[in-house]
Structure 1
Amino acid sequence: TGVKTHCHYLFLSTDFGKGLTGIETKEGVKVTLQAKHVLSSKLTTVFLPVIYIIVFVVGLPANALAIWVFLFRIKKKHPSSIYMANLALADLLFVIWVPLKIAYHFNGNDWIYGEGLCKVLVAFFYGNMYCSILFITCISVQRYWAVVHPLTQLRRDNCVAIALSVTVWIVVWVITVPLYLYDQEVRVTNMNIFTCHDVTRPSQKKMAAGYFFTMGTLGFIVPSFVCIVSYVLMLKALRNNMSDPTIAKKRRKAIILIITVLVLFIVCFTPSNIMLLVHYSLLLSGATNNLYGFYITTLCLASLNSCIDPFVYYFISEDFRDHVKNTFLCRSERTVERMRISFSALKYSKKSNTYNSDTANTQSTDC
């Protein structure tokens, strides 16, 4: 019996004792020394929670303000504002769960809130990431359509935008369901802690890897390709119509949008999704080092999109900028409308006086 147990232990060590899966027992998972080092390092117990604090402090008020502006300040809704409002809602739904993530890391990666909350936190984390990618893709395609086919921007486009937004929410909800079907909270026996999504049970690693391979491909690579094609076609259309005096302004806005979205993808989404695919590939192959430290760092940086998105709205939408300024200046919609009418009347009065003055001078010269 002792020999059999020893052989069984060696089998587990060889097959599963690599990366952050470790050796699975009835009590939990015994992780390797490398995994133990990662879970107790300052990277996960200091650096990550500090980044999440920044995400919460900046993201909560910024996205709450954005939703307020989109719902109550912008009266005339456009397709892009509908997409941006949904993007802000997705970010807000993620940010409100961030304090649990902060407490978890400061507590030495020991999850004390139960399996249910752990699954909800993980689902909202990845749901926010892919929801953001999909809504940014919608914004990019809508901007392309507005530049290349401006005459087709009719009122019915709002119905299309609403339908697409509902579809995105349903799709994201469906694709996060598998995260509830396997264990996210795992007890690490040789550290006496409960981790949340940091350790995968060896018996469930194929399920987890298959899920994230699918998500990395369909949730990131395909939308990224759509965004790139939209930007290329947009710039091509602007270049072919340089004789139009309004093209210069549209070109400037298009370039700002492209730069902003590219920065968002490069900083937030590209590293995390590449490392997601690399990590799970190494995990399945049984590599000694599956780069988990880099993986969770890029995932943390991906959450910064919740802080950056409100600035995307600010740069893309002139209406949003004006409404934000008026909100900070405590100007009501009625006050803003009166100021606009007064400014228009003053501008018209100046033009009228200039015209009358020029007419009088002409008549005087004729006399």
Structure 2
Amino acid sequence: MNVGNNTTIPSSGPFLASPKWVLLFKGLMVTRVMPSISIFIILLSLPLNGLAVVTFTCRIRERKPAEIYMSHLACVDLLFTLLLPLKIHYRLNGSNWVFGEAACRLLSAAYYGNMYCSILLMMCMSVDRLLGVAFPVASLTWRSTRKATCVCLLIGLLALIGIVPLLSMKQTIRFENVGVTCFDVRADPSVMIYFFVFLTILFISFFLPLVVILVSYSIILYVLCAKPDHSLTSSSSSDNRRRAVIMATAVLTEFVVCFAPSNGILLYHCVTYLVTGACRTDTFSAYKLAVCLGSSSVFLNPLLYYYSSSRYREQIHSVFWVCKAKTANIP
């Protein structure tokens, strides 16, 4: 069976991929460029998220709600980073998956679970910051460590529910002239409900958080600009406004670069299948590159921690000062 545009792949095999698809699976973009991006992500993510996890769990004893969200996000990013070597091996091996169906489902589910957890936690961080700026006194009872922990557990549960379709769907397809693909070609989506589930997940885990984040940072900027805190000096107020602008820009940039492309293409696939009954394959390269770039959020998030948490910056500075002092004392 040849694989071409608008082709639906049954769940059995092996099949014969067309020369165009062999080039896509074995091409330079997939087998060299994408693994290189993933290696770069690992080299940055492991130390940054490892340092974040140690700082939030060991060095900051009494954590604020925002730091609770950050610590959970760092753990999620670190766990996902540890799975990336499987994807690197797969791409360097010419898109031939050797780790079995279960590991393939776990890897694909981990990607979306990480992305949805990241988005929902970033939404919680923006709402927490909004409450702290707009309602600093009234929100004290809402912004407790216990409630933040419960929210993190709820987000984990939602992410787990969201990846159930990926864990239950066949992810590997065997081709005679390619090998075993993982998460690249879908088996025959005979159960239509999966696509409605994906659309629901997209709304809850991407579009709704994006709206909440936009509204939250808009209100934060309005409050800081129109109603500055008179107990602060003008320089402090100006610094708070500048920090809020940078944070809003950074979060929205991460959404545009890391999350929007893959979710946009996924939405296109779901809508196309529901309308035409056929799975589009003409966006394969774009989708694979979008998924690869989406993984870069795991090393961008620690930069948000550094800029948004003053206590995190203080702890990082103290660690580097201690290391610098020890190095200077070595004869």
TM-score bracket for this pair, using the shorter chain length: 0.7 to 0.9
Matched, 1:180 2:167: yes
**Residue 215 of structure 2, aligned match among 229, 233, 237:** 229
Contact 1:20 1:198 in 2 (8 A): no
Instruction: Please give the residue correspondences for 1:141-220 in structure 2 after superposition, counting only pairs within 5 Å.
Output: 141-154=127-140, 157-189=144-176, 191-204=177-190, 206=192, 209-220=195-206
Give the Cα separation in 2 of the matches to 1:289 and 1:167: 35
Deviations 1:133-156 (A, max 9, x none): 000000000001100011135376
**Residue 50 of structure 1, aligned match among 36, 43, 52:** 36
Instruction: For 1:60, give the aligned amino acid.
Output: L
Matched, 1:302 2:304: no
Instruction: For 2:266, give the aligned amino acid.
Output: L
Contact 2:97 2:179 in 1 (8 A): yes
Contact 1:19 1:32 in 2 (8 A): no
Q: Which residue of 2 aligns with 1:269?
A: 259
Any unmatched runs of 5+ in structure 2? 324-331
Give the Cα separation in 1 of the matches to 2:22 and 2:28: 12
Deviations 1:101-129 (A, max 9, x none): 00000000000001111111111111000
Report the CA distance between 1:166 and its aligned residue: 0.8
Report the CA distance between 1:216 and its aligned residue: 2.1
TM-score by length of 1: 0.80
SS, match of residue 186 in structure 1: strand
TM-score by length of 2: 0.88
Contact 1:256 1:316 in 2 (8 A): no
Report the CA distance between 1:321 and its aligned residue: 1.0
Contact 1:133 1:220 in 2 (8 A): yes
Contact 1:20 1:292 in 2 (8 A): no
Deviations 1:22-50 (A, max 9, x none): 4x374234444433321121111111111
Give the Cα separation in 2 of the matches to 1:330 and 1:19: 59
User: Relative contact order: is structure 1 or structure 2 higher (C-alpha 8 Å, sep ≥ 6)?
Assistant: 2
Distance 1:211 1:278, change over 3 A: same
Any unmatched runs of 5+ in structure 1? 1-8, 332-367
**Residue 238 of structure 1, aligned match among 212, 224, 244:** 224
Distance 1:50 1:21, change over 3 A: farther
Aligned-residue Cα RMSD (Å) equals 2.3
Contact 1:187 1:194 in 2 (8 A): yes
Q: Which residue of 2 aligns with 1:258?
A: 248
Instruction: Please give the residue correspondences for 1:344-355 in structure 2 after superposition, counting only pairs within 5 Å.
Output: none
Q: Which residue of 2 aligns with 1:341?
A: none
Distance 1:203 1:70, change over 3 A: closer
**Residue 71 of structure 1, aligned match among 54, 57, 64:** 57
Instruction: For 1:80, give the aligned amino acid.
Output: A
SS, match of residue 150 in structure 2: helix
Q: How many residue pairs were aligned?
A: 316
Contact 2:68 2:149 in 1 (8 A): yes
Give the Cα separation in 2 of the matches to 1:25 and 1:71: 45
Instruction: Please give the residue correspondences for 1:326-345 in structure 2 after superposition, counting only pairs within 5 Å.
Output: 326-330=318-322
Which structure is larger by alpha-carbon Rg, 1 or 2? 1
